Amino acid sequence: MSALALRRSPAFRDWGLGDASVWPSDLLAYRQQWEPFIKAHLELWRYLNSVLESVPDAQQCPAGIFNAAPSTLSLPMQQFCAALAITRIRVSDTDPDGIQPQWNAWKGKSSAEILAGTGPMLKWHEGVVLRTGGQYKDDLVRIAKTWNIPHHFEFPPTPPFSEQQDIITRIEGAGLAAQGLLQIIGYSTGEVLVGAANTTQALAEGLRDTAKAIPKVLSNPWTWIGVAAVAAVAGGVLLTRYAPPPQRSPR
């Protein structure tokens, strides 16, 4: 049976999937709603990657995506290469840990395949959203601050709670997802992206749809200097960052 015939069949409606004619649009609505959020985060990572790639010392790091920098490099250079590697992974079009490959993991599936995997697919998309705006966002902040990236990062807002609730209600009403499978997603007071059962709970817990931007770390003109790095310890983890050379007093 073709996918079109399947959607039109009485059995399809008997499975609790509602009006089969609107199934594809309802199912894809969740992805379309979060597409701008994912793209905005990806652009932030691309900017961060472009900055690190422009540093002359980046040539000392292995080409492409790598697991570890050569042990022959200094500790500051190993730390720099590790940061560079993370940015390469996040912007990669092929690495499984790249944002785009994760978001498009279900791309190209047939209607019948999507029907069979609706629940897992929706949870997968929700997981990508939470990782991108959560763990990955935190990594981006850490790298930007550690390496003094002079940029005012504006994090994209999540879709308004009312719009999220509307899409979830439509999907659940069409029988495409079990009740409570999807969450309302917002930022907590600690700028952490979390989910709530519904809009009422999200508001009661003080969630909001916007996050604070990272302030510019450097107010002076920014330059990179070789491996003359400044080391610091934060939370028991050794961090390194390149610092501008001191200004010489005029003679």
Indicate whether 99 pLDDT > 50: yes
The Cα–Cα gap between 241 and 224 comes to 10
Asked whether residue 222 is assigned to any structural domain, the reply reads no
Does some domain include residue 236?
Answer: no
Domain tally, the chain: 1
- If you write DSSP's letter for every residue of the chain in order, what string do you get? --HHHHHHSHHHIIIII--GGGHHHHHHHHHHHHHHHHHHHHHHHHHHHHHHHTSGGGGGSPSSS-S---TTS-HHHHHHHHHHHHHHHHH-SSSTTSHHHHHTTTTT--HHHHHHTHHHHHHHHHHHHHHHHTHHHHHHHHHHHHTT----B-PPPPPPHHHHHHHHHHHHHTTSS-TTSS-EEEE-TTS-EEEESSHHHHHHTT-BS--PPBPPS--S-----TT-EEEEEETTEEEEEE-PPPPPPP-
Given a cut of 50, whether residue 10 has pLDDT beyond it is no
For residue 247, pLDDT beyond 60: no
Residue type for 32, please?
Q
Query: Is 14 a member of any domain?
Result: yes
100-143 confidence digits (pLDDT tens): 999 998 887 776 777 677 788 889 999 999 999 999 999 998 89
At residue 214 the predicted structure's pLDDT band, cuts being 50, 70 and 90, is low
Kindly report, residue by residue over 65-85, the tens digit of the pLDDT: 988 888 889 898 999 999 999
Task: Answer yes or no: is pLDDT of 246 > 70.
Answer: no
Average of per-residue pLDDT values in the chain? 76
Q: What is the pLDDT of residue 209?
A: 92
In a domain, 147, yes or no: yes
Quickly state the pLDDT bin for 4 (edges 50, 70, 90).
Answer: very low
Calculate the alpha carbon distances from 227 to 58, 181, 217, 240, 248 in Å: 11, 49, 20, 10, 20
In a domain, 54, yes or no: yes
Residue 66 counted as domain residue: yes
Say if CB 216 and CB 239 are below 8 A apart: no
| Residue 125 belongs to some domain of the structure | yes
Q: What does pTM read for this prediction?
A: 0.75
Whether the predicted pLDDT of 26 surpasses 50: yes
Is 233 inside a domain boundary?
Answer: no
Distance (Å, whole) CA 63 – CA 239: 22
- Residue 155's pLDDT band, with cuts at 50, 70 and 90, is confident
Q: Which tops the pLDDT comparison, 13 or 215?
A: 215
pLDDT digits (tens, 9 = 90+) for 33-60: 999 999 999 999 999 999 999 989 899 9
Q: Whole-angstrom Cα distance, residue 237 to residue 82? A: 14
Range of the domain at 136: 3-216
Block residue for tokens 């992206």: 193
